[in-house]
Amino acid sequence: MTLKIHQDHSRFKQIVRGKIKANLRKYVQKGEMLGKKGKDAISIPIPFIDIPRFKYGHKEQGGVGQGDGDVGQQLGPGAVEPGDGHQAGQGEGDHALEVDVTLEELAQILGEELQLPRIERRQNERIVTQKVKYTGVNTTGPESLRHFKRTFKQALKRQIATGTYDPKMPVIIPTREDRRYRSYKLQELPETNAVIIYMMDVSGSMGDEQKEIVRIESFWLDTWLKHQYKGLESRYIIHDAVAREVDRDTFFHTRESGGTMISSAYKLCRDIIQADYPKSAWNIYPFHFSDGDNWSADDTRQCIEMLRNDILPQVNQFAYGQVESPYGSGQFIKDLREAVGDSNNVSLSEIADKDAIYASIKDFLGKGR
Amino acid sequence: MPKSLSPRLAALRDEIHGYAKEFGLDFFDTVFEMVSYDEMNMVAAYGGFPTRYPHWRWGMEYEQLAKGYEYGLSKIYELVINNDPCYAYLMESNPEVDQKLVMAHVYGHCDFFKNNFSFRHTNRRMIDDMANHATRVRRWVDKIGVEKVEDFIDRTLSLENLIDQHAPHIRRNPDPQRAEEEAKSNERVEGFKVNREYMRGFINPSEFMDSQRKRAEDEKQQRKRFPERPQRDVLYFLLEHAPLEPWEVDILSILRDEAYYFAPQGQTKIMNEGWASYWHSTIMTRRALKDDEIIDYADHHSGTMGVRPGAINPYKLGIELWRDIEDRWNKGRFGKEWDECDDLRARQAWDKKLGAGREKIFEVRKHYNDITFIDTFLTAEFAQQQKLFVYGFNDKRNSWEILDREFRKVKNKLLTSLTNFGQPIIEVVDGNYENRSELLLAHKHDGQDLKGDYARETLRNLQSLWRRPVNIITRYDGKGTLLRYDGQHHSEKKVEL
């Protein structure tokens, strides 16, 4: 059935999309939406979608409430009526409307705005498996799926309501209507066919700011590649003078003090590809971030050799992002540019600061590989 | 699409209708329609009307309602429109006991709409007029284009609260005596006739003459002022004086009509919701409830009455006040004798068995709005019983906290938050500011500063209607401030008040 409201609703969604687009650069830089991530949707604050009026700031105003508590007692978060924005005075307000956007949609917007080409898949076959998930409760079903607890709960409710429950003689007899059954859904699980191998330099010269940049940038890379490949695997490698594979959380929160041997990471990357990701079945994306400071020219030579011989022939695209830091010499990107810069599955990007993330995403994803 | 009631529900409606009449409620015919939850969300998004003009914010409203419903956070039980006949909606998935409760609640609202003085001048054929508004707007959309019309509506909505809330039907048009006064003002101040020049200083003392001349001049200025008196109905001022296209005038007047239609509901929220809750509770517990419905009823009722510390629940505050009034007038707890009695024990035992409570509340529902209701009937005892307090933001601790439980302060804060709907009072004071056709508004500052970013954004929208620079005088941190938007830039300067 179509309702009249659907026209207004889709117009609203269109406006939201426009607002996201218009503010995308800001979102990309600030990473302000990365905090509240659900499974596959995200809350984005949209500025000024509510209608501005002459009104009081809520903080300015305060109000009358009702309940227990002494003077000076704090009211818990959420206890105070929201909706008027929280900031009073002259500053830029945070009277934002939070809208939910799916990552899928966000990736589309990103793609449109940055004019990203669709990735040409090298490996296209996808095996889809089906999985049964018991997620719901139903009033009908086979006896084998009867939900014991829910059935009795239901019966208890009914008996209390009809006055036939006697607490002294707690006998509960479910009737046909009380019975509850577990119900299931078929889920399609696409077989993963792309992998991102993230590598990051965590040596002393990479500070918090640099890592924040990597975190934000990798969020967008993830989002885009997820949009292109259903079901995407990610692996994480950190390195200083030695490399090790870690989980996502460790990846973003480790800080070491040692020196830097980039070759150690590339070696591990190569080994992972060889062991787990045969070229025939996988689209492979190594992304490496560092401040461009390597231990020695010799180590850099090793890196380049490994790239040429082992990594580049295997992967869709190898990407290197150099995050500017006050300590790094920034030499590495120059060496890479000279050695493999003209190879068409290499993209190199220098990221001076958060403002540069936007352009850097385009560097990485603009080739459509 | 809405369905009429099943025979079973129609019978229940007749039953509840009978109880409502029995208790003396007096309402227009009330039409109940059955809707799905999706339709309910739609109608609610449209402010209760099945047909509204097209605009994205209904869609936004709908999204929020639909989401709230899906996540189980909120559910609309009751939706009723002030119209003759009244229209009310029932959600088809609700259990029978809820339907009964909602019907009883609705009859309470309908009685209030019909009898409370704030609604006396409201348009009782609003359902038709809303549909007409929609047709008019759609016609402009076809002619002018959706982008332009929507954009104009967006900007006008930004000014929607700038109406004269408390005197919706007074037209302060130019004075008919104006011409006469005009003529009078042209008389020159000449004083008495003087035959002997040396007597002039005594017959027409120069100080007196000067002051007379000045007064005449002032009066002339006064008459030249435009508007003559500050005008609260900013939308009306724009309708009359802003250089608008015919389609813009039409849309602006539609939005103004709708704003006035909804204004009384804002002014009587506590009374109205309290009244409806009082009646659903009375009808259900004294008449309509069956034994096996009590738990569900209690669950629903307590849900409606729930309070969060940092907010006033109008249902709860309203119903308690109505009950308190009824109780006081039943026991004779009012008047000089009661007020002057400070023997605590005597007060507690006070019961003159007057039994005038029911009569009193029917009278009060006729002649009060939220402000006068709270002002007259919210007593210190009541505030204490209901555990009311004032809260505010503590910058140091970066949190909201309870500031005060003192009765006077609680009551004042509550009244302030209800004055003009809790919105700042803003007037047009000059439509020819600086003699350059600029618009000057003034904010009657009552201790609370305007939200700055909103104010600037609103000025921008106002400017796009006035087409010349716009200004507003307000106060920030105690200092007189003139905010200005000239079509390109915002500026701000300190002014003497």
Q: Do A71 and B461 touch (CB under 8 A)?
A: no
What does the pLDDT average to over A316-328? 86
Chain A nearest-CA distance from B58, in A, is 6
**Six token digits for residue B260:** 């006035």
Q: Do B310 and A80 touch (CB under 8 A)?
A: yes
**Six token digits for residue A285:** 């994306």
DSSP B483: E
Q: Specify the pLDDT at position A333.
A: 92
What does the pLDDT average to over A155-181? 88
Q: Specify the pLDDT at position B183.
A: 53
A335: alpha, beta or left, given left = phi > 0 and alpha = psi -120 to 50?
alpha
Size of interface A-B (CB pairs under 8 A): 218
Which residue in the set B292, B316, B424 is minimally distant from A163, CB to CB? B292
Q: Specify the pLDDT at position A94.
A: 40
Residues 31-60 of A with CB under 8 A from B: 48-49, 51-57, 59-60
CA–CA dist B483, B361 (Å, integer):
46
Phi, psi of A194, rounded to the nearest 5 degrees:
-140, 150
Residue A93 clears pLDDT 50, i.e. is over it: no
Residue A57 clears pLDDT 70, i.e. is over it: yes
- Per-residue confidence band for A2, with pLDDT thresholds at 50, 70 and 90: low
Q: Does A8 touch chain B (CB under 8 A)?
A: yes
Chain B nearest-CA distance from A247, in A, is 32
Residues 100-119 of A with CB under 8 A from B: 100
Which residue in the set B62, B316, B453 is minimally distant from A9, CB to CB? B62
CA–CA dist B495, A343 (Å, integer):
66
User: Taking CA atoms, what residue in A is nearest to B449?
Assistant: A56
Q: Do B45 and A70 touch (CB under 8 A)?
A: no
Q: Do B387 and A162 touch (CB under 8 A)?
A: no
Comparison of pLDDT for A320 and A364, the residue scoring more: A320
Q: Do A8 and B417 touch (CB under 8 A)?
A: no
- Per-residue confidence band for A95, with pLDDT thresholds at 50, 70 and 90: very low
Q: Do A62 and B390 touch (CB under 8 A)?
A: yes
Chain B nearest-CA distance from A44, in A, is 15
Comparison of pLDDT for A37 and B430, the residue scoring more: B430
Q: What is the pTM of this model?
A: 0.75
Which residue in the set B296, B402, B449 is minimally distant from A73, CB to CB? B402
Chain B nearest-CA distance from A278, in A, is 44
Q: Specify the pLDDT at position B337.
A: 92
CA–CA dist A157, A180 (Å, integer):
13
Mean pLDDT check: name the lowest of A22-31, A298-307, B73-82, B463-472. A22-31
pLDDT tens for the 497 residues of chain B, in order: 677 899 999 999 999 999 999 999 999 999 999 999 889 999 999 999 999 999 999 998 898 888 877 777 777 888 999 999 999 999 988 889 999 999 999 999 999 999 999 999 899 999 999 999 999 999 999 999 999 999 999 999 999 999 987 665 555 454 545 555 555 555 566 677 777 888 888 888 888 888 888 887 777 766 667 888 899 999 999 999 999 999 999 999 999 999 999 999 999 999 999 999 999 999 999 999 999 899 889 988 988 998 888 888 999 999 999 999 999 999 999 999 999 999 989 999 999 999 999 999 999 999 999 999 999 999 999 999 999 999 988 888 888 899 999 999 999 999 988 887 778 999 999 999 988 999 999 999 888 889 898 999 999 999 999 999 999 999 998 899 999 999 999 999 999 87
User: Is the peptide bond preceding residue B85 cis, with omega within 30 degrees of 0?
Assistant: yes
Chain A residues close to B422, C-beta within 8 Å? 56, 61
What does the pLDDT average to over A93-110? 70
Q: Which residue's entry shows tokens 């605590």? A: B344
Chain A nearest-CA distance from B410, in A, is 7
- Per-residue confidence band for A301, with pLDDT thresholds at 50, 70 and 90: very high
Chain B residues close to A15, C-beta within 8 Å? 56
Q: Do A11 and B59 touch (CB under 8 A)?
A: yes
Rg (Cα) of chain A, in Å, rounded? 27
Chain B residues close to A89, C-beta within 8 Å? 449, 451-452, 476
Chain A residues close to B154, C-beta within 8 Å? 51
- The string of pLDDT tens digits covering residues A137-161 is 888 877 777 787 888 889 999 999 9
Q: Which residue's entry shows tokens 């500031």? A: B403
Q: Do A69 and B291 touch (CB under 8 A)?
A: no
Q: Specify the pLDDT at position B207.
A: 85
Q: Specify the pLDDT at position A86.
A: 29
Helix, strand, coil % (nearest 5) of chain B?
55, 15, 30
- The string of pLDDT tens digits covering residues B243-300 is 999 999 999 999 999 999 999 999 999 999 999 999 999 999 999 999 989 988 998 8
Chain B residues close to A161, C-beta within 8 Å? 292, 295-296
Mutate to test the interface with B, among A7, A10, A64 (most CBs of B within 10 A): A64
Q: Do A4 and B413 touch (CB under 8 A)?
A: no
Q: Do B451 and A91 touch (CB under 8 A)?
A: no
Q: Specify the pLDDT at position A366.
A: 80
DSSP B286: I
Q: Does A3 touch chain B (CB under 8 A)?
A: yes
Which residue in the set B59, B154, B295 is minimally distant from A51, CB to CB? B154
Chain B residues close to A41, C-beta within 8 Å? none
Q: Does A79 touch chain B (CB under 8 A)?
A: yes
Which residue in the set B38, B59, B450 is minimally distant from A56, CB to CB? B450
Mutate to test the interface with A, among B375, B388, B453 (most CBs of A within 10 A): B453
Q: Which residue's entry shows tokens 């006697």? A: A166
Q: Do B448 and A49 touch (CB under 8 A)?
A: no
Q: What is the mean pLDDT of chain A?
A: 80
Residue A83 clears pLDDT 60, i.e. is over it: no
- The string of pLDDT tens digits covering residues A223-274 is 888 887 776 888 999 998 889 999 988 888 777 777 788 999 999 999 999 9
Do A196 and A147 contact (CB within 8 A), yes or no?
no
CA–CA dist A126, A108 (Å, integer):
22
Q: Specify the pLDDT at position B170.
A: 55
Which residue in the set B310, B389, B451 is minimally distant from A79, CB to CB? B310
Q: Do B449 and A3 touch (CB under 8 A)?
A: no
Q: Specify the pLDDT at position A258.
A: 74
**Six token digits for residue A290:** 């560092």
- Per-residue confidence band for A87, with pLDDT thresholds at 50, 70 and 90: very low
Q: Do B292 and A161 touch (CB under 8 A)?
A: yes
Question: Which range has highest mean pLDDT (A103-107, A131-135, A210-214, B379-383)?
Answer: B379-383
Comparison of pLDDT for A21 and B322, the residue scoring more: B322
Mutate to test the interface with A, among B55, B56, B162 (most CBs of A within 10 A): B56
Query: Sheet containing B490-494: which strands, arranged edge to edge?
Result: B426-433, B438-443, B470-476, B479-485, B490-494
Q: Do A53 and B458 touch (CB under 8 A)?
A: yes
ipTM given for this complex? 0.84
Do B59 and A13 contact (CB within 8 A), yes or no?
yes
